[in-house]
Amino acid sequence: MNSATLVNVKDLLEADGLLTADHLNQLERAVCSSQLTEVRQVVGELTRRYESGDRSESLMARGGVGAYLLARQTTADKLLSGVTRDGIAMFIHGQCLTSLNRAEDAANRFEDAGKAGFDPIGCALRRAGAIRAFGKIDDAEKLLRSVAASAASRAEYSFQMGCIWADRGDALTAVEYFERAVDMDSHHSRALFWLAAENSLRGNDDEAIRLYERSLSRPPFFTGALLNLGLLYEDRENYKAAAFCFRRVREYDPTNEFAHLYLRDIDAAQDQIIDEDQVRTEARMKQLLGRPVTDFELSVRSRNCLQAMDINSLGDLTEVSEQELLSGKNFGETSLMEIRELLTAHGLRIGQHLHKIHSREHIIDQSMTPEEQAMMNKLVGDLNLSVRSRKCMSRLNIQTIGQLVSRTPDELLSSRNFGVTSLNEIRLKLGEVGIRLRND
């Protein structure tokens, strides 16, 4: 923003009278610009005046709207709760209450804003969203349909319909509505957030990053979008951009524990010293372990036995025990000696990597009850892990809970971008179902 478009923040926030749409646009521009610090200072001063006893409508309305745009929801709620005449401020208060998960209060506030004369259709759409948020999906849809003739051309209408379909489990139709909302309003933050999250869930990280970035083009900046974008940046090893996102979250919410933990993980990752010799050694080992057993001179019996047990590479041989090999049909001591000699010649041994997970679809342990076996065979997706932890599970090819609990904490922490934050989350989620990691 150049000097010609600078906003007189102090005059704007300390003026008397009702807020207008132009006032709101000016404040949004100021928050998105180099004037962010100035907005913080003036909002802080208005908050102090409120706490000292100043209850003028204009102070509560303008200070509350400013706090909301700064993502200071608790402060915004405190200031805006006393506003009774300013329709825009009451509408913003409804949005604030939605962010605070007070959906019923939000629905009432949007209704009040409409009665105060602020955009009745827009208030009805937001009220429908709040009604849906406290579980009355059919009532929300009924309200949306009642204003469809006037509202269908609005991005917010498509967004709210998308939320209805998402809550009913039809992700495909929901995405169509969210895309329609973005087509109508390229800066519709919440529609962009939903689309970004959906793309991230499906592994489309490039598109997810692009959409999260667009969702942050207009305040208030949702901490969820900043955290998720930071995690995607970190996964790309773009630590500078990730740290910027997490620090911005701390600016808006100094008590946000996730931002603190993620920053700590980034600092730890950047402090690691890369040993080039070790990297080359690991690369050579990876190549060796990937060599197929058919590359080596083995007896026909040994070759056929390994094929029957779905053991195809040297790496597979390091992930099974001698007992497992001997349990194979026609696999005897002679074949075992042959395999031992082959691996020894390459500096390897049978069972060397037993801690790694076999690529089996199911875990079968005769000592487990049927219920315990069923738990082990559940997908890790059932644990409802965060974006970061899901990425780590995918990178480690861990698909089931059984595969996860056979890992030790140290094995998980050795994975790239898997830090203490993710480990603690895994422990918490497993604890909720009464199980834990190996050796934990």
CATH superfamily, domain 1-118, is Tetratricopeptide repeat domain (1.25.40.10)
User: Residue 30: exposed, middle, or buried by beta-carbon count in 10 A (0-12, 13-18, 19+)?
Assistant: buried
What CATH architecture is 370-432? Orthogonal Bundle (1.10)
Position 153 pLDDT exceeds 90: yes
pTM of the complete model = 0.60
**Domain boundaries, given as residue ranges, for the chain:** 1-118, 276-345, 370-432
pLDDT, tens only, 174-204 = 999 999 999 999 989 999 999 998 888 777 8
Position 273 pLDDT exceeds 50: no
pLDDT at res. 330: 80
pLDDT at res. 6: 80
Structure tokens at 41: 């200072």
97 within 8 A of 59, measured Cβ to Cβ: no
In single-letter form, the type of residue at position 364 comes to I
Residues 6+ away with beta carbon under 8 Å from 254: none
Domains 1-118 and 370-432 share a fold: no
CA dist., res. 219 & res. 72, Å (int)? 12
Fold of 276-345: DNA polymerase; domain 1 (1.10.150)
pLDDT, tens only, 12-58 = 999 988 999 999 989 988 888 788 889 999 999 999 999 999 999 99
CA–CA distances in Å: residue 146 to residues 112, 133, 188, 424: 18, 18, 23, 47
